Amino acid sequence: MSYIGISYVYSSMEELMNEFSQLIIAQSMHVLRSCSIMYKDTNAYPPCLIVSTLFTIPSPLNSFSYTVYNLHPLPVVVNQNKYIYTNIPTTFGLNLINKTLAIWSDEQKRFKCRFSKIVQCEEEPTYVSLSSLPCMEQLFSSNGSTSNACEITHSINSQPAIINIVEGIWIFYNSNEVRHCNVYSNLNDFNEILTIDEPSILRLPCETFVECFPIFI
């Protein structure tokens, strides 16, 4: 793979495909009656399936490029006591070259930005040094140190141990609970029992619902 005069060499086809799949931002499929590009004798050629893929240009490693994270701390429950990190941003951009964070306010994230494989915002984020947030600096440190600079809050776990990350993605975080849930789909008569007995990430397809009594998601 190469772009703007820069080439990349990969040791395996699997590695190359993994790299390409991260750059896909759109894809469409077209079915043609014939593979021929000529208007005559089209019946002499078999039909074609054409896949059109739109890639984004790989971001160069420089001080202007940020990797955007959507970070959701997971609670730890011990004897109905819940512990969780609280002094870290959930959505931020990180540049490890100049050790800088790009942080968006809640209003910007809700009304001014669109987060996908390409982040589009109407306003500039706030840029801060990674060292100004000791917890974040330790989390992204490569020296293996513990995150003792992170603030941890303690509360009684009185609510169902379920967190909604984004639409259609839920996290069950309490390993001490065993839940037997019913899965329903509005698209067909699909119905099954789902047993959750360990911390799990649940992704729900469109028009699919889960009932884990007394919770309905």
Q: What does the mean pLDDT of the chain come to? A: 75
pLDDT at 108 over 80: yes
Range of the domain at 184: 162-216
Spatial CB neighbours of 16, under 8 Å, sequence gap ≥ 6: 1, 10
pLDDT at 172 over 60: yes
| Confidence label for 44 from pLDDT (cuts 50, 70 and 90) | low
Instruction: With 0.95 as the threshold, say if the pTM is over it.
Output: no
Q: Into how many domains does the chain fold? A: 3
pLDDT at 126 over 70: yes
Rg of the chain's alpha carbons, rounded to an integer? 24
Q: Map residue 52 onto helix, strand or coil.
A: strand
CATH of the domain at 120: 2.40.490
**Residue 31 falls inside a structural domain:** yes
**Residue 24 falls inside a structural domain:** yes
- Reported as a single tens digit per residue, the pLDDT across 46-58 is 777 777 776 665 5
- Do residues 15 and 34 both lie within one domain? yes
